[in-house]
Amino acid sequence: MNSGKKQKEKQGEGRYSSENKTESRREVLKAILLAAFVVGAMAVVRFSPLREYANPSNFDQLRVRLSEFHAWAPIVFLVGGAVAITLGAPRSIVSILGGMAFGFLAGTSLALGASLLGSIVIFLLARWLGRSFFKHRVGKYLKTIRGLGQVDGFLLVVLLRQLPLTCMLVNVLIGLTSVSTGVFFLGSIVGLLPEAAIFSLFGSSVRQGFILRVSIATFLLILLVIVIRLYYKRSSLAGKLARGFGKDSA
């Protein structure tokens, strides 16, 4: 009886380990496919006739429209990006456009600023105006967070930013917790900066150094996915959070 039970436990552990390895490979493959898609899109812009539209001296709708605002162009992009993110636009798209329009450093800063500005709006709305409204719609996700017990707010914000959840959902969830505005802001900077930098680097590749910048951005994207995956496997808190949201979203 005991030997049979132990054998079943070993088989279960082996199956769990095999599933973990398969899932890890799948995550890395997703990162590679995402990088390949972005690289392909950048290559089309860089090496096809569409390159003319990515040249600042030619007809580029984004830059032409921004140039009309002269010194106000960064502010216009910042506010426009924040509005787009507030309405549900992917942060990665805003980061790529920031890199294309302003270059890597300025593009990263503006994309990060737009993400923070758009996020803080939803965070404050959830906290001040719509607790009952939002809670009714995200109750199952909020239950997962509360089931973790006492958790450091900064770490919670950073970890939630790494999950495959929409920016709006994360902002609403944190707004319904006791996390302070300052902690939300700092945790969001740490959680959002890597993505903003990587995709801004992708976008800036159409301006100069295409092969070098795309290669670096691709490497960093894959590395980021691997590091996040390893951390979620080794951290009990992160693992519980990921499993909880996985069950709730299924």
* pLDDT tens string 127-145: 877 666 666 677 777 888 8
Residues 6 or more apart from 42 whose CB is under 8 A from it?
Answer: 202, 203, 205, 206, 210, 214
* pLDDT tens string 138-191: 777 788 887 777 788 899 999 999 888 888 889 988 988 889 999 999 999 999
Distance CA 72, CA 68 (A): 9
Q: Which residue has the higher pLDDT, 224 or 166?
A: 224
Contact at 8 Å (CB) between 113 and 189?
Answer: no
The HSE-up count of residue 10 (CA atoms within 13 Å, CB side) is 6
**Assign residue 103 a region: left if phi > 0, alpha if psi is -120 to 50, beta otherwise?**
left
How many other C-beta atoms lie within 10 A of the C-beta of residue 169?
Answer: 19
Average pLDDT along the chain: 78
pLDDT-derived band at 55 (thresholds 50, 70, 90) equals: very low
The HSE-up count of residue 160 (CA atoms within 13 Å, CB side) is 28
| Helix, coil or strand: residue 145 | helix
Record the pTM: 0.72
